[in-house]
Structure 1
Amino acid sequence: MNILEFFQKSEGSWKSIRTTHHLAFKKAESGESVICVKTLSPDDTQVLATCKIHNFDPKLSIGGAYVSWTGGMEWDKEDVKHDGSTAFAIIQDTEQPQSGKILRDRGYADAAPVVSSYQLSEEDVLTLTTNYGGMDSTEQFWFAAPNVRLRTSIVSISGGITTATFCSEIRIINTNDSEAVSIKQEKKLVQNKQSKIVMNKMTPSFGW
């Protein structure tokens, strides 16, 4: 799988169930959101505009994506919503095509434009690393099944981890009977594998 195929596989709407551990407070909170992903062609106006923001030649981009989200977290006040959107432009490394840069017109932790480095492993695990001016974020995405995507996120400041997040994301589709059975099977698959995945993906980073 290459980076474009990864985003194409991610295209659509997803229900994301999240648990975030706040290490400083020794507490965890949960939340839910809906994430929508749409792939963009290299000549899409949003891709061109994002390249312009970062002073990259648009001809270097192989395409991109538009991502929007809405949801909330357990500790939120009633009037607080985690809504937003961002456009991506992908700049592939010509010598190492499984790595490169992802330009965003805005970040998740900061509304300012941001550049992330990406690496897609042989196991089809996408790793994004981002620096938000003193705050570092490392995210990993992978598919447990075609309609089940998993994600981890670690945020650190001055080398110390401040938050650690795990998300399970289920594709939202209009189901007929066979599709419904397939999704139930995939949900069961991720439930059966989740403890193993958490140990393999998270323990080395978190030390738990």
Structure 2
Amino acid sequence: MEIVNFFETLAGKWFSQRTTHYLINQSSQAGQSNLLIEFLPHTDPELVQMCEQGHQDPSTIACGLRINQDSRLEGESQSVKRVTVMVALHPDGAGQGIILQTTPSLPTTQGHYHLDSDVLTLTTHTANGVVAERLWYANPNLRMRTSMLTLDDAVQMASFCSEIRMGAVPAAN
């Protein structure tokens, strides 16, 4: 599978159930999200603009995603709504490439992705440490996602999400 095909499978409406473990204080927190994910072709103007702002050549865009997220954490009365846009640049021969992510009010981040055996791994360096995220499918309507935040070689946070597609698998283009 190539990154464009993998991103196409992400499109749709998803329900996400998440458990996050904070290793520093040995606490856990559950959460739920509704995700609306839109596949963006390499010609999308927003992706071109992100590449230009991130000093990347827009001709290297493979595809992108727009993720509308509505999340609620256990014990919180307010939901958190945000939109994230991701752009994947064409991978090298080993299936690795650059990924840019932007969310309003947060700086654009640049990371790397690796797609191997239908498992997508994203690695991003942030001010809080290194975030490593893995996504894979149990079946076309059920995907799994894990993430870890590491700071100074020590895991600070780990999470697991199971995500169920709400509706049918989108038709292939």
Q: TM-score, normalised by structure 2?
A: 0.91
Q: Tell me the residue number matched to 1:100.
A: 97
Q: Which runs of 5 or more residues in structure 2 are unaligned?
A: 169-173
For 1:165, the aligned partner's letter is S
Q: Tell me the residue number matched to 1:83.
A: 81
Query: Does residue 23 in structure 1 map to residue 23 in structure 2?
Result: yes
Alpha-carbon offset, residue 83 of structure 1: 1.4
Q: Tell me the residue number matched to 1:34.
A: 34
SS in 1 for 2:80: coil
Aligned residues: 169
Q: Tell me the residue number matched to 1:127.
A: 121
More strand by share: 2
CA distance, structure 2, for counterparts of residue 46 and residue 165 of structure 1: 30
Alpha-carbon offset, residue 103 of structure 1: 1.0
- Paired residues for 1:189-208 under 5 Å: none
- State the superposition RMSD in angstroms: 1.8
Contact 2:136 2:145 in 1 (8 A): yes
Equivalent residue for 1:159, pick from 142, 146, 153: 153
1:140-179 Cα distance to aligned partner (Å, 9 max, x none): 00000000010000011111111110000000117xxxxx
CA distance, structure 1, for counterparts of residue 19 and residue 87 of structure 2: 28
Alpha-carbon offset, residue 134 of structure 1: 4.7
Q: TM-score, normalised by structure 1?
A: 0.76
More helix by share: 1
The structure with the larger Rg is 1
CA distance, structure 1, for counterparts of residue 31 and residue 102 of structure 2: 25
CA distance, structure 2, for counterparts of residue 103 and residue 3 of structure 1: 14
Q: Which has the higher contact order (CA 8 A, sep 6+)?
A: 2
Q: Tell me the residue number matched to 1:178.
A: none
Alpha-carbon offset, residue 71 of structure 1: 1.1
For 2:115, the aligned partner's letter is L
- Paired residues for 1:167-178 under 5 Å: 167-173=161-167
For 1:102, the aligned partner's letter is I
SS in 2 for 1:115: strand
1:177-206 Cα distance to aligned partner (Å, 9 max, x none): xxxxxxxxxxxxxxxxxxxxxxxxxxxxxx
- Share of identical aligned residues, percent? 30
